[in-house]
Amino acid sequence: MPTLESHNGYYLWHYVPSSVAAIIFEVLFVLATLFHAYKIARTRTWFCIVFVIGGILEIVGYAGRAIARDRTGDIGPYVMQSLTILIAPALFAASVYMTLGRIIRSVHGEPLSVIRINWLTRIFVAGDCFSFLVQASGGGLMVKDGSQKMGQTLIVAGLVIQILLFALFWVTAVVFHARLAKNPTQASLAGASPWRSGLWMLYFVSACIMVRSVFRLIEYVLGGDGYPLRHEWTLYVFDATLMFFVMVAFGFRFPAAFQIRKGGSQSASDVENYDLAVESKERQRGSMRKTMR
């Protein structure tokens, strides 16, 4: 029966982590990540690669938790799971921010955006990268003797930045949605771009990441004596489950239809039935092979 072991006189864990729960979510994230990798390769939606990297970090994180069950005194698995699970959602967020800009372009709604479209993605992705680096730095300091307080402060700061970014993102998306509903563009009325379902997907995904970030903020503010760090179920309910929902929702309304071609913004014809167009090309190739035979 695994028991808690100390590391240099300090307990890294407040409980023996469940290997069963970790393996279940590791398998779920493997399946979701493979699905997204397939969709990216099939539709050439390369801007979503960071989303797959986020999925890989989740896989590594829960593998670390599974390993840690029998090695609670080993700092390696602890750092492995702590850092990767902490920063993975920042990569999901980057794809969310980039998708909004592409949705706006797909309906030629640039004049309706609160933030100038040329700066929208840059501002959000730059802020997200900064949040990512701050959290990663804090996570690294948390495992160093005498640096835990500074690490905790940096993680809290990074999470606050992430939450503020999502608040601004919500305002930007909702205002654009309202303006487009009031003053629809010709491209939005044509129905070629699935912008409505795309926006609702972004609302759901960003809400999941926001709730998760608030939970992690509370967790680190309360510290080792707080309820979240002493009860494992909170991590799986408010982090693992929500991040899996993020991957499922993003895959359900995968943003291939909002792909931007070289040379500028999309036209309605560029986004019409993107997945069906890909399938049509594949069928044509198959027919050509049969003809050549």
φ/ψ of residue 53, rounded to 5: -60, -40
- Write out pLDDT tens, residues 111-138: 999 999 889 989 999 999 999 999 999 9
- b/e map 164-187, b = 16+ CB within 10 Å: ebbeebeebbeebbeebeeeebeb
Unique residue bearing structure tokens 């390369």:
46
CB 100 within 8 A of CB 56: no
Lowest-pLDDT choice from 22-36, 56-70, 93-107, 184-198 = 184-198
Residue 14: count of CB within 10 angstroms of its CB: 14
How high is the pLDDT of residue 268?
39
Which contiguous run of DSSP H or E holds residue 77? helix 75-106
CB 51 within 8 A of CB 97: no
- Write out pLDDT tens, residues 79-100: 999 999 999 999 999 999 999 9
Domains of the chain (ranges plus CATH)? 19-258+272-279 (1.20.1070.10)
How high is the pLDDT of residue 192?
75
Cβ contacts of residue 17 below 8 Å, gap of 6+?
65, 66, 68, 69, 72, 232
DSSP string, 181-203: HHS--HHHHHT-S-HHHHHHHHH
pTM here is 0.85
Decide if pLDDT at 262 tops 80. Answer: no
Q: Mean pLDDT across the stretch 196-211? A: 96
Unique residue bearing structure tokens 């239809």:
257
Decide if pLDDT at 69 tops 60. Answer: yes
Lowest-pLDDT choice from 219-223, 271-275, 279-283 = 271-275
